[in-house]
Structure 1
């Protein structure tokens, strides 16, 4: 091997510190940035990498793996018995309570379940709270445990077929709500349990809207799992749209909206593939469906509406890696018409990605600051936003570097 070549972090025998340094350098990350992510000093990072300090405990090792975006813990530790898939997002303090509610089955509970109408009213309040709160994960984390347990109990105790289907429909939507909380957190298995249980309950309910919502979220789970799952995402959207199509001529606004949301999801996946023609074709179809909705309509789960289509156009352009088109679509979209705070913040992040692609990092940082103002918890759990901020903390432009560092502290990417 040439003395100038980068060593292979998976070759033995490398120490933990050597692997950590190699993986950090391959990420293009300085010791200062890694130290900030870990809440440590750059000197501490150096001492670990040089083997002058003992390898840290498992909690710190997991934090290092997250900061370096290591997908398999064995890549960092060098231990073949530690092949653990990792997720790059931070875990919310309420994640454990939500997980416990999902995993606890009410097989021996004697408590009487609340009626389906009561669950529906609580669900409506929960969706409204999610859209209106800047700290939407905290809100959901507090509401979900009791809501999940009550919905599970209602489904178990339901009697006649109509009552049972109504309970299954409510249970499906509760799991869909839970998926918004679980997404981008360090428990991929929990995400899949929630997504699949939602779809199972929706099919049993025979509720077209519940099936559409579950499919919309299931397609996202597949797509976010990487290119090998794009075909599965397409299969979910295609099958569900075929199921909904005969209902659309007489459909109410909610069913029409979930069909439109699924149509856009098909375009989103096409954009991820790099298929511009297919992506924009699906967007055009979704736009026509949005125009059939009342001007002030806003779907309570997906945010699908007339006002969201501009944001969707930005997403398509960004996923196609077209900086100029992303900026053009961002100029046309009006974020102020999006009533949901987390969805508005998500749109701002997509705009920031577009500005970054277009070589406008200062505008990207300013747009991320707007995202933080709209919903801090949205940007905190978004990997794209975190990446842009971290990259600009290394900018050669001092003023930009300071702005990025200030935003990094606000978002929680770097320690104060």
Structure 2
């Protein structure tokens, strides 16, 4: 299935492969055949993941099949010519590491060096340099595994925490690229390492990673349920929590709010966002502790995103354009810009929508290129353009791979 197919065309293609009429498929998702016909013909834009998940379930396919993922990670100076397959090999390697003991063949990487390399990789992710992150993780994860095996006692537990956070980053990156199964593998292996670390901060962080991986697979209800479990785990520590644990706690709630929105559970969205708001007030201002980018701004970003997932366009248009995101990392700013572009597009503000994405592309070209939302929006604009599309839109479509 090529990326040149629209979401509607993919639905029609899979529907025919399943031998279903429009009446039958529409009935399975509680809609009319006329609605489905308009979706397949591109007369109605479908971008809500909750609805796409219903259709995917009815067709017995994955959500990724409908949104054309995974994305091919381009070769860059940062990544070289070894990208996701190299990371896959690392994640599938069950040689000595967590849970094993063996004599190291070389001196293990120091705990200080692991910290520095982990910070470099996470910082690169937040700057949306995905090729660089992929290359760094392919070397960092094996070195962290070796350190876990080589050290004893507290040092081994600390190394396990570093390894867990490297796996967390791998899962986060892979969800961005649509590598659903591989992201789940990274999250699971990260949770194993987190438990060995015996560190509530690390365990809480990996619970959030599992939630994101579940959402990547379209398991929204399960991801929201996992958030309840994460909060129950962290709650006993919150009475004396410092800023870092408060950030981990709040970010877990934000991940859960997106899962609940995609599951169309408004009550849980409100509860999670209210909890995150209280955590942000406790923190006082925006911070990036443990690479969470947590604070009042990130809570507001999620209010916009959850509003769009719930179909509350006016809420998103009221809050989104007024939000100052200059104080949060690039990845967060650009993610908000994509959501704002979606809101403009749904409101038929066809000048503001592409302008917002083009501005975001200047800050983070890789993120715009690989996010399903930017690809979907650009493809929709190209297909529904009256007359010849503007050159800037055609060139953007080529860059994001939907020309």
What is the TM-score when the length of structure 2 is the normalising length? 0.77
Q: Structure 2: how far apart are the matches of 1:148 and 1:247?
A: 29
Q: Does the CA-based 8 Å contact 1:393-1:402 persist in structure 2?
A: no
Q: Structure 2: how far apart are the matches of 1:26 and 1:306?
A: 37
Q: 1:178 to 1:163 in 2, by over 3 A?
A: same
Q: Does the CA-based 8 Å contact 2:70-2:178 persist in structure 1?
A: yes
Calculate the aligned-residue CA RMSD, in Å: 3.0
Which residue does 1:115 correspond to in 2?
110
Superposed, 1:122-141 pairs within 5 Å as 122-132=117-127, 134=128, 136-141=129-134
Select the structure of larger CA radius of gyration: 1
Which residue does 2:143 correspond to in 1?
150
Q: Structure 1: how far apart are the matches of 2:113 and 2:107?
A: 13
Q: 1:401 to 1:75 in 2, by over 3 A?
A: farther
Q: Structure 2: how far apart are the matches of 1:343 and 1:209?
A: 21
Matching of residue 390 in structure 1 with residue 379 in structure 2: yes
Q: 1:242 to 1:140 in 2, by over 3 A?
A: same
Q: Does the CA-based 8 Å contact 1:392-1:401 persist in structure 2?
A: no
CA apart distance, 1:270: 2.0
Q: Structure 2: how far apart are the matches of 1:111 and 1:249?
A: 43
Q: 1:187 to 1:176 in 2, by over 3 A?
A: same
The size of the alignment, in residue pairs, is 345
Which residue does 2:71 correspond to in 1?
90
Superposed, 1:21-170 pairs within 5 Å as 27-28=40-41, 88-92=69-73, 93=75, 94-107=83-96, 110-132=105-127, 134=128, 136-160=129-153, 162-170=154-162
Q: Does the CA-based 8 Å contact 2:287-2:293 persist in structure 1?
A: no
Q: Structure 1: how far apart are the matches of 2:56 and 2:89?
A: 25
Which residue does 2:395 correspond to in 1?
406
CA apart distance, 1:319: 0.8
CA apart distance, 1:261: 0.9
Q: Does the CA-based 8 Å contact 1:322-1:354 persist in structure 2?
A: no
Q: Does the CA-based 8 Å contact 2:125-2:173 persist in structure 1?
A: no
Q: Structure 1: how far apart are the matches of 2:161 and 2:365?
A: 31
Gaps of 5+ in 2: 1-11, 20-37, 43-54, 76-82, 97-101
* 1:385-415 Cα distance to aligned partner (Å, 9 max, x none): 111100110234347654432321233332x
Higher relative contact order (CA 8 A, sep 6+): 2
Q: 1:389 to 1:360 in 2, by over 3 A?
A: same
What is the TM-score when the length of structure 1 is the normalising length? 0.75
Q: Structure 2: how far apart are the matches of 1:231 and 1:11?
A: 26
Q: Does the CA-based 8 Å contact 1:322-1:357 persist in structure 2?
A: no
Q: Does the CA-based 8 Å contact 2:177-2:371 persist in structure 1?
A: no
* 1:298-325 Cα distance to aligned partner (Å, 9 max, x none): 2343321222222111111111112111
CA apart distance, 1:358: 2.2
Q: 1:382 to 1:205 in 2, by over 3 A?
A: same
Q: 1:383 to 1:271 in 2, by over 3 A?
A: same
Which residue does 2:243 correspond to in 1?
253
Partner SS state of residue 394, structure 1: helix
Q: 1:223 to 1:183 in 2, by over 3 A?
A: closer
Which residue does 2:166 correspond to in 1?
174
* 1:224-251 Cα distance to aligned partner (Å, 9 max, x none): 322xx22321232111111111111211
Gaps of 5+ in 1: 1-5, 13-24, 30-69, 77-82
Q: Does the CA-based 8 Å contact 1:362-1:400 persist in structure 2?
A: no
Partner SS state of residue 274, structure 1: coil
